[in-house]
Amino acid sequence: MVVGDIGRSTEWRPALASVDTVIHLAARAHVLHDTDEASALYEETNALGTLCLAKTAAESGVRRFIYLSSVKVNGEETSDRAYTAADEPCPRDAYARSKWRAELHVRELGAATHMETVIVRPPLVYGPGVQGNMARLAELARSPYPLPLASLKAKRSLLSLDNLVEAIAKVLDAPSELKRPFIVADPEALTIGEMIMAMRHGLGRRGGLFPVPNPVLKAALQALGHAETYRLFAGSLVADSSALGQVNWQPAMSTRDALAVLMQGPKDRNAP
């Protein structure tokens, strides 16, 4: 069923007739610059669009509303410990702030109605057709050249599509009410170099990494106009998904195996 653009006035009622559970995954992303215009676009789709859907869902008798938010609601980097869903939110950019406002709308509706609301915060999600930073990382992995990434020690959490699907399935099947946010992430946070090695393993190749002092790598990327790339390479963002043990979720795949599978292309799921 096609509903058109998602915003504050989207008509959801025909799509919600006789629906028991809503899983809200759609969002605006990848608006490149943190401008007033970008903030308005994020607000319309991610915050007000979610409010419209959740309000209509409650009015339509939906029992459980699952909202896919983002670990960026917690912040951009971790230092001494991993993010948990119990941490004080600290969204830093327009996208993250719009997702946080959407969470608040969902929580308020959950408190004011009989609809159960569940918020799930993933880090970067990857799978077939992935875009953005993970697509660029995959391009690096496919390149034939050795890469100067062996000295980077910061770790980042990721989430494979298969592991996300399993987590949502567990939330769907949970017998009790879940009025709290959850973080969901692959089991192991990896350095950028470890991600590249796992991807190249999926391509049947060796890692091909060599060390370069971090200040040298930073200066080189800045000179090439990629200062933001260095921040992503050198900054840690580790997420703790242990609270999902409440619904007996266990990741279906390890981080390294899921990255290797990503590089092997789509599989025929009907094949023997």
Which two three-digit tokens encode residue 13?
A: 């009622």
Distance of CA 84 to the CA centre of its chain: 14
Which residue spans within the chain are E strands per DSSP? 21-24, 64-68, 116-121, 124-126, 155-156, 158-160, 181-183, 190-191
| Burial state string for 160-191 with b = 16 or more CB within 10 A and e = fewer than 16 | bbbbbebbbebbeebeeebeebbbbbbeebbb
User: Three-class SS of residue 183?
Assistant: strand
CA distances from 205 to 17, 90, 220, 248 (A): 51, 40, 26, 36
Residues 63, 66, 42: CA angle, nearest 5 degrees: 130
Judged by DSSP in three states, 123 sits in coil
Can you tell me whether residue 21 is helix, strand or coil? strand
Cβ neighbours of 9 (radius 10 Å): 9
Query: Which positions are annotated as active-site residues?
Result: 95
Count CB neighbours of 222 within 10 A.
13
Determine the Cα–Cα distance for residues 191 and 105; give it in Å rounded to an integer. Answer: 35
Q: How far apart are CA 151 and CA 170, in angstroms?
A: 38
